Amino acid sequence: MVTTTTQAIAPAHVLRGDVFWPEAIAAIAQLGRRPLLVGRSASTATVRQGLEECFGHHGLNPMPAALAHDCCEEDLARITGLTDTSTRDLVIAIGGGKVLDAGKLLADRLELPCVTVPTSAATCAGWTALANIYTPGGAFAHDLALRRCPDLLIFDHALVSQAPVRTLASGIADAMAKWYESSVSSVGSEDGFVQQAVQMARILRDQLLLEGQEAMAHPGSAAWRRVAEASALTAGLIGGLGGARCRTVAAHAVHNGLTQLEATHGSLHGEKVGFGVLVQLRLEELVGGNRLAAQARRQLLPFFRALALPLSLADLGLGTASLSDLGSVCAFACREDSDLHHLPFRVTPDDLLAALVSTTAERQPA
């Protein structure tokens, strides 16, 4: 018997390339004319102000809403309280992954259309029907599934290429995790979408391995465009098509645990996820008995090093962390509802601590 499923796979409309903004604003105006304009960081303030003025010139009436923290309930409640839903008819989120998550979640709760405008290729948050919730202090709390993907995603190459190159490295690591996580969690699945998504994840990984360094070295090049879109768009499509079985496993669970320590807050989402991939492969070797995992880890190390991604706890600001602190990371990552348990073998906090420490110990010298 085939069970009926409902999936939010992709945005209703995607504009990508060197975006002609009058055209983009025309597409936005079809969704609403009084947008709530969500943003946060000082680095994107000029962009938001420029778009706000541009919107005004084209007959839109935006209301700016600045986040004070990462995507957290306190911030969302504050902005919701300040928003007159009788006069706002659209949410536009401009920024990095946490800003985009906040915008999607606000739109979902206010029952308004949503437009996402990523300012980097650091995550696929502009694509997905998911939002990660953090505490005001920046620790991961939980994630939420939304009713649908954004109504419009605007991926402007000219805008994204201005982001620090480090953000692209982070996006590459986050996107590559799709293969290492989905190929493990989907074992035995008879779902065609899942099987197809896993193969897409493999192709995505191969493309990033082949072109990642060239893209990093030449922002705006053809290789950069392919890699940036792979990281910010295709990775989201894979998660949408494959669902939870192709989304997050141990690598993201490690990220979630690491965020519980303030010392890691200077590291980007994908940087922590990339280290989590190395830890997951170590778990597969130590606990799952998968010898090929050790080979995969050794193949990844030089690539991650070339992209200046973290390879050790010290690289994440945890060089002097106590075993007690690392134990708290592992306890959080192994919570009962953690995605880590999508692994096909049981993992305890002690198992994860051993993998965490030994991954660092095996770091190859530069």
Residues with catalytic function: 174, 252, 255, 269
**Maximum Cα–Cα distance across the chain:** 62
Closest by alpha carbon to 47, among 32, 31, 64, 23?
64
Place of tokens 């309280």: 81
Residues 6+ apart with CB under 8 A from 119: 43, 44, 47, 94, 95, 96, 159, 160, 162, 163
Residue 25 buriedness (CB in 10 A; 0-12 / 13-18 / 19+): middle
41 CB-contact burial (10 Å; exposed 0-12 / middle 13-18 / buried 19+) = middle
Helix (H, G, I), strand (E, B) or coil at 91: strand
Secondary structure class of 240 (helix, strand, coil): helix
Which one, of 4, 248, 10, 251, lies nearest residue 129 by Cα? 10
- Type of residue found at 185: S
Counts for the chain of helices (H) and strands (E), in that order:
14, 8
Quote the CA–CA distance of 76 and 82 in Å, as a whole number.
Answer: 10
Alpha helices in 161-218 (DSSP H): 165-185, 192-217
Cα–Cα distance for residue pair 258/319, rounded to 1 Å? 13
d(C-alpha 304, C-alpha 48), whole Å: 33
* Rounded Cα gap, residues 215 and 119, in angstroms: 17
Residue 154: left (phi > 0), alpha (psi -120 to 50), or beta?
beta
Residues 47, 159: Cα–Cα separation, whole Å? 9
